[in-house]
Amino acid sequence: LAKTTQPISMDSYEGQEVNITCSHNNIATNDYITWYQQFPSQGPRFIIQGYKTKVTNEVASLFIPADRKSSTLSLPRVSLSDTAVYYCLVGDNGTGGFKTIFGAGTRLFVKA
């Protein structure tokens, strides 16, 4: 199972772009990279998923270099409501099983 390394915490201000980088040196060929967001007293929820290059959806972008040993979650123009813990996970998307290990995540604090 691929382990990931992320910064423990980050601070930002409203309206700024926030980039959170995750290291996953032993990512396997079949592994996808998925980011989750967790608010207090709630379960983590899916933000974005990718395999290589760049993926963008309505809330975030995910940048993955060619060697796939790291990935960067980009949150454009954050607001106070983006204050949460963000988890980076890697796992096999092929068969449906997504057994993986959560790290401690990155605690993002957005200030006014």
Partner 1 sequence: DAGITQSPRHKVTETGTPVTLRCHQTENHRYMYWYRQDPGHGLRLIHYSYGVKDTDKGEVSDGYSVSRSKTEDFLLTLESATSSQTSVYFCAISGTPTGVAITGYRNGYTFGSGTRLTVV
Q: Name the site residues for partner 1 (rule: CB under 8 A).
A: 32, 34, 36, 41-46, 49, 87, 89, 91, 93-99, 101-105
CB of 111 to partner 1, least distance (A): 22
Work out the burial of residue 40: count CB atoms within 10 Å of its CB; fewer than 13 is exposed, 13-18 middle, 19 or more buried.
Answer: exposed
Residue 98 identity (one-letter amino acid): F
CB of 13 to partner 1, least distance (A): 26
User: Shortest distance, CB of residue 63 to partner 1, whole angstroms?
Assistant: 18
- 54: its two tokens: 């760049």
- Contact (CB, 8 A) for 47 and 59: yes
Alpha carbons 1 and 67: distance in angstroms, whole number: 18
Query: Which CB atom, from 32 or from 70, has the smaller least distance to partner 1?
Result: 32
Nearer residue to partner 1 within complex by CB, 78 or 89: 89
